[in-house]
Structure 1
Amino acid sequence: MGKKSKSIKTNAVRIIESEKIDYELRSYEVEDGHNDGISVANKTNEPAANVYKTLVAMASKTDLLVFIIPVADELDLKKAARATGFKKIDMLPMKDLTKETGYVRGGCSPVGMKKELPTCIDQQAESLDYILVSAGKIGLQMKLSPHDLAEVTEAKFVDIVKG
């Protein structure tokens, strides 16, 4: 890793660099409209097990939560609520994503949101050498250590996917 790009500086990339975290940027084609997680894994030639999506949920209007899970998996809302100490959580309505995080759907990075939010990374990531997450822009991913990501987002590793 360690390859840095001078031309693309999203807020997420600036934060990762300011923390001196080793990372690599990966860009992928977006014109075909296929920017779901599995397509991103294919376009970046990475196993889907190493490509993670960032989901934002809410326990209330003011309690927002971030969950980072493998692209092929589905968030288990009951497990996620237990992991964060809430009785019940729901997904943040898509119309509120940009207002709450500063990011758009398909380009939502767990790093550099408008506010620091409680964050959980699915425990599967803990045993991986690297994962890819959005770098804050559709068509751009960051490849980095899941432990570095956990440190910069103050995340904990927990079991939060269905299955």
Structure 2
Amino acid sequence: MAKKIKTNALRLLDKHRVNYEAKDSTNLKAGDMSDPDASLIHKTLVTRGISNELYVFIIPLSSELDLKKAAKAAGEKKILMLAEKELLPNTGYIKGGCSPIGMKKQYKSFLEASSLSMEQIIVSGGKVNFRVKLKPQDLMQIINAKEFDVIQL
């Protein structure tokens, strides 16, 4: 019998009674356009402002974070990507499995504004090759995120 995956992200979604679909994506490569849900996939990016505060940005996989827009969203003069070695100690997640849901601490989070027009989005489920599909409004409520235009055009 297959082992059922339960991550911190899924536990939190269950606690808040959010409808979601969890799926193992081991056979798919990031950005693989043969995946019918490829356009829904979002990446979770963790940044550090000059104030030393951490910020989380959830943007479509095919987009790039605009650091100037991100700094404006966070109310910082400048913002930089968090070093990979700092990811696990600060979030509890590793690169490729960093979910915006269930981090060690709730950081100020921002969802790309254009994502709100989607019926559902897909984010990491808290483990490499494990994804969660849910409504963007539910994600925003769970992590107390704000919407902001933070991608490069």
Which of 23, 27, 30 is residue 24 of structure 2 equivalent to?
Answer: 27
Alignment-derived partner of residue 158 in structure 1: 148
In the TM superposition, what whole-angstrom CA distance separates every residue of 1:115-141 from its partner, at most 9, and x where no partner exists?
Answer: 000000001111110000000001110
Distance in 2, matches of 1:53 and 1:132, equals 9
Which of 69, 74, 78 is residue 79 of structure 1 equivalent to?
Answer: 69
Question: Deviation of residue 61 (structure 1)?
Answer: 6.9
Which of 121, 125, 129 is residue 139 of structure 1 equivalent to?
Answer: 129
1:42–1:64: structure 2 CA closer, same or farther, 3 Å change rule? farther
Alignment-derived partner of residue 11 in structure 1: 8
Do 2:26 and 2:130's aligned partners in 1 also have CA atoms closer than 8 Å? no
- In structure 1, stretches of 5+ residues that fail to align are 1-5
Question: Deviation of residue 47 (structure 1)?
Answer: 3.4
For the residue of structure 1 that corresponds to 2:123, the secondary structure is strand
With normalisation by structure 1, the TM-score equals 0.88
How many residues are treated as equivalent by the alignment?
Answer: 152
With normalisation by structure 2, the TM-score equals 0.93
Distance in 2, matches of 1:59 and 1:42, equals 37
Distance in 2, matches of 1:70 and 1:42, equals 17
Do 1:134 and 1:142's aligned partners in 2 also have CA atoms closer than 8 Å? yes
Question: Deviation of residue 20 (structure 1)?
Answer: 0.2
Is it true that 1:47 corresponds to 2:38 in the alignment?
Answer: yes
Runs of 4+ in 1 over 3 A off after TM superposition: none
Do 1:35 and 1:106's aligned partners in 2 also have CA atoms closer than 8 Å? no
Question: Deviation of residue 62 (structure 1)?
Answer: 3.6
